[in-house]
Amino acid sequence: MSWLDEVALAEDGMSFAHGDTVYRDRRPLMTDPYNPDATVPGAWSDADTLVLTEAFVDDISSSTVSDGARSAISSGKALFLTDPDADVQVGDRIRAGDLTLYVNELPSSPKNPFTGWRPGREVPLDHTLG
């Protein structure tokens, strides 16, 4: 692909030629049993699932977290989407292949201040081993 083709693709939108099918699970809200005026997330078994196409999950960082009782590796991962308005928010669960990850930070959809172009969406994910 020439750089002119890449520029045309960037102007028309972005596509991940080797992206993955990723699933977004969102738990339904239910009445809080301790406070009837509030809601809390329901069970994952009742979650609404959305298929996210043109997406992939990749590593962005990792660190070791240890205390006297346990040792774990916290691996920073991110979900990358071509759709800057994809329906992913804090509290969702992301499944990609054999990975199950959680959205605990706000997704980002940067915008070029000169052209208004938004290349996609980056969603920070939590993944802890150990």
pTM of the model: 0.74
Other Cβ atoms closer than 10 A to 125: 25
3-129 maps to which CATH number?
Answer: 2.40.10
57-102 per-position pLDDT tens digit: 988 877 777 777 777 777 678 999 989 999 999 999 999 988 899 9
Assign 4 to helix, strand or coil: helix
- Residue ranges per structural domain of the chain: 3-129
Q: Does residue 114 have a pLDDT over 70? A: yes
5-36 per-position pLDDT tens digit: 444 444 455 566 667 789 999 999 999 999 99
29-67 per-position pLDDT tens digit: 999 999 999 999 999 999 999 999 889 898 887 777 777
